[in-house]
């Protein structure tokens, strides 16, 4: 990150159109078009959030968070699904981070360019685009049935790991690639082994990038409903999972999906309130990422 | 999310049987136990609210029993049920012979109970002042596959009606409601005109019909009951000389609203029923089914169905007392 070039200098370059009015007009028009895109995105988001908050805010209270789901909308709460979501996201992080970062390190630092590497790389890129429901079906066959994990948190977390693994790998690779070649060369020149280079130089340097990727991927996992529905995650559970291999669990997106599908307006309000809670969890996760990113990037001194 | 049905079981079966049977090791390490006090329910999203109400009411007396209810759809639910992965399967249609066979192959006998009746409401926009009821023939004229492109205004259905475009709304093609409606009205499962607005979320159908003067749609009665001021309920004339009948609690229960009323079921594995916890819960559920059905805006089962439920309970509920039945 270089912040040495003063913005004034850059601006004066852009203004320097040398009497080409058409070029200047095109430049300005493009700026307006980009600004419009930004405004459209922001406005849509703001309106959406505003409507959700307006509708659901009145329903968010301690009772809502500490009650189990119910067939009467007034008593319905998100205790089991909120706890389920938190467990699930924790387990998913536990599985996907070591696997994903490990794969990225292997592909970037150890694996020589070869057909095998190209093959692996292409497949990972393709897998990132596979609809998550497909992973749900795979999870049902592999984790729920073949490994007899039932409809448990472990099965759910492993399924979500499959969903986000390609994203974690690609983001980590990108972050590793962004570390200048000279750092590696300097490290080797000082006699460091490959392992010492990776652990002592590359990982700390790429950590902010990796973290961003991981948090984005986990945020996606937090909002997934389809693959969990496929493996048979519950919508109604009036208990908290006590262990991760036997107990059924529920998650917020499933609860929201269920409530929006009910005929009663009061359930729609509960859904909006659950969305508010889900968004809050997401914002907390992102805030944590920003904080960690800030802390780790401060340590990098080249 | 009904799109999981069908090919789901195919792929899942392939993965589990061929590729990964070696990976069952973790299950051996941490399997067993945890079974004792839990009851697993999965299946139709139409039946889900009734099962949820039952599970919730049962929890008041028996908080130690861990009941979970999922809603992956009737067919997807059965595909898990016949493998013994769930104890109770919610279904918006009777179990198929092929499914009974599959269950039997896995050593599972099934017993089914009618827990409610669901009337499908045919609704129009409140501004529609020309039509109060439709005959089954007219419904067929509107919804059969050949209607595409030829029946596009209300006038095409009845020359006396105005030339207002007919805007159709209905459930998605994977839903049990769609299957039932097409079977009863068009005479063939899943045979429907394709040019209508489908949605898996019935609230979207409500919104669609209530925003279009020429709107027409069908969905579960509960969605009409919650949106009475936004919709106009149409009577349905079965064409048997009784005239048009509108769905309500009485007409669905006594069977005079036809042919768009259907029973909805739960199926229980006899193997699970051998466990006292399950048989007690099923007893409680079926005996109070009327209450749960009405609470969730369905109609209680007919007298015949209630009688057959009671009989089945009597013969099956004692199953767990026989030592041979235990497994």
Cβ B285 vs Cβ B54: under 8 Å: yes
- A233 and B CB contact within 8 Å: yes
The minimal CB distance from B30 to the residues A226, A245, A258 is found for A245
- A239 and B CB contact within 8 Å: yes
Over range B314-325, report the average pLDDT: 55
| Smallest CA–CA distance from A245 into chain B, residue | B30
Q: Which of B16, B48, B64 to mutate to test the interface with A (most CBs of A within 10 A)?
A: B16
Tokens 């030829």: give the residue. B150
| Smallest CA–CA distance from A242 into chain B, residue | B34
Instruction: Pick one of 3.40.50.720, 3.90.1150.10, 1.10.3720.10, 3.40.1170.10 as the CATH number of A61-299.
Output: 1.10.3720.10
Count of all residues that appear for chain B in the document: 327
Q: Where are the domains of chain A?
A: 7-58, 61-299
Q: Which of B14, B64, B70 to mutate to test the interface with A (most CBs of A within 10 A)?
A: B70
CB contact under 8 A, B12 and A149: no
How far is Cα A244 from Cα A151, in angstroms, rounded to an integer? Answer: 10
The minimal CB distance from A248 to the residues B31, B68, B226 is found for B68
**Per-residue confidence (pLDDT) for residue A17, from 0 to 100:** 58
Domains along chain B with CATH numbers: 37-117+263-325 (3.40.190.10), 119-261 (3.40.190.10)
**Per-residue confidence (pLDDT) for residue A260, from 0 to 100:** 92
Q: For chain B, first and last CA: distance in Å?
A: 35
The answer on pLDDT for B325 being more than 80 is: no
Which residues, numbered 102 to 161 in chain A, qualify as contacts with chain B under a Cβ-Cβ cut-off of 8 Å? 133, 136-138, 140-142, 144-151
Q: What is the pLDDT of residues B149-197, one digit of tens each?
A: 889 999 999 999 999 999 999 998 878 889 899 999 999 888 999 999 9
Q: What is the pLDDT of residues B41-95, one digit of tens each?
A: 999 989 999 999 999 999 999 988 999 999 888 888 999 999 998 999 999 989 9
Question: pTM score, two decimals?
Answer: 0.82
B159 to chain A, minimum CA–CA distance in Å? 35
CB contact under 8 A, B40 and A148: no
| Smallest CA–CA distance from A236 into chain B, residue | B69
The minimal CB distance from A141 to the residues B12, B31, B227 is found for B12
Tell me which chain B residues have a C-beta less than 8 angstroms from the C-beta of A140: 8, 12
CA dihedral B241, B247, B252, B253 (to 10 degrees): -110
Over range A56-81, report the average pLDDT: 91
The lowest-confidence range among A5-19, A209-223, B123-137 is: A5-19
Q: Look up the ipTM and state it.
A: 0.79
Tell me which chain A residues have a C-beta less than 8 angstroms from the C-beta of B61: none
**Per-residue confidence (pLDDT) for residue B304, from 0 to 100:** 86
């Amino acid at each position: 990150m270089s912040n040495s070039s003063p913005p004034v200098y850059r601006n004066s370059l852009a203004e320097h159109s040398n009497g080409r009015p058409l070029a200047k007009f095109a430049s300005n028009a493009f700026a307006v078009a980009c600004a419009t895109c930004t405004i459209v995105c922001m406005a849509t988001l703001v309106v959406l959030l505003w409507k959700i908050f307006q509708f659901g805010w009145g329903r968010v209270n301690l009772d809502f968070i500490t009650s189990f789901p119910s067939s009467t909308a007034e008593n319905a709460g998100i205790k089991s699904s909120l706890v389920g979501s938190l467990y699930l996201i924790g387990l998913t992080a536990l599985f996907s981070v070591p696997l994903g970062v490990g794969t990225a390190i292997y592909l970037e630092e150890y694996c020589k360019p070869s057909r095998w590497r190209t093959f692996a790389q292409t497949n990972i890129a393709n897998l990132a685009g596979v609809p998550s429901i497909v992973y749900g079906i795979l999870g049902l066959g592999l984790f729920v049935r073949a490994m007899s994990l039932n409809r448990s948190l472990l099965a759910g977390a492993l399924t979500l790991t499959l969903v986000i693994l390609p994203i974690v790998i690609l983001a980590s690779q990108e972050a590793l690639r962004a570390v200048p070649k000279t750092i590696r060369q300097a490290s080797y020149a000082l006699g460091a082994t490959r392992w010492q280079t990776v652990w002592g130089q590359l990982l700390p340097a790429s950590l902010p990038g990796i973290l961003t990727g991981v948090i984005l991927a986990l945020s996606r996992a937090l909002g997934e409903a389809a693959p969990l529905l496929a493996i048979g995650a519950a919508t109604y559970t009036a208990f908290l999972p006590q262990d991760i291999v036997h107990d059924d669990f529920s998650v917020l997106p499933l609860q929201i999906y269920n409530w929006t599908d009910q005929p009663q307006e009061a359930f729609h309000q509960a859904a909006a309130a659950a969305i508010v809670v889900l968004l809050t969890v997401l914002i907390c996760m992102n805030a944590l990422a920003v904080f960690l990113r800030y802390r780790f990037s401060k340590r990098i001194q080249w | 999310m009904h799109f999981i049905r069908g090919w789901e079981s195919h792929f899942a079966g392939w993965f589990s049987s061929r590729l990964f049977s070696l990976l069952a090791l973790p299950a051996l390490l941490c399997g067993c136990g945890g079974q004792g006090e839990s009851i697993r329910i999965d299946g139709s999203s139409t039946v889900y609210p009734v099962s949820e109400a039952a599970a919730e009411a049962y929890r008041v007396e028996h908080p130690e029993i861990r009941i979970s209810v999922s809603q992956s759809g009737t067919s997807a639910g059965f595909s898990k049920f016949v493998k013994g992965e769930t104890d109770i399967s919610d279904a918006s249609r009777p179990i198929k012979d092929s499914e009974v066979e599959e269950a039997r192959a896995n050593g599972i006998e099934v017993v089914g109970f009618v827990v409610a009746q669901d009337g499908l409401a045919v609704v129009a926009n409140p501004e529609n002042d020309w039509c109060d009821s439709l005959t089954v023939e007219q419904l067929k004229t509107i919804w059969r596959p050949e209607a595409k492109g030829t029946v596009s205004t209300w006038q095409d259905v009845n020359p006396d009606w105005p030339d207002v475009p007919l805007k159709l709304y209905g459930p998605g093609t994977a839903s049990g409601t769609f299957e039932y409606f097409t079977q009863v009205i068009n005479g063939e499962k899943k045979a429907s005109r394709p040019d209508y607005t489908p949605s898996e979320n019935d609230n979207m159908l409500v919104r669609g019909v209530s925003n279009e003067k020429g709107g027409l749609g069908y969905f579960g009665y509960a969605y009409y009951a919650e949106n009475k001021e936004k919709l106009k309920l149409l009577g349905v004339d079965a064409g048997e000389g009784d005239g048009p009948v509108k769905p309500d609690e009485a007409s669905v229960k006594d069977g005079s609203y036809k042919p768009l009323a259907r029973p909805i079921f739960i199926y229980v594995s006899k193997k699970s029923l051998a466990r006292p916890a399950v048989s007690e819960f099923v007893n409680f559920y079926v005996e109070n089914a009327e209450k749960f059905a009405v609470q969730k805006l369905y109609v209680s089962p007919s007298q015949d169905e209630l009688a057959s439920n009671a009989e089945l309970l009597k013969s099956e509920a004692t199953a767990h007392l026989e030592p041979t039945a235990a497994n």
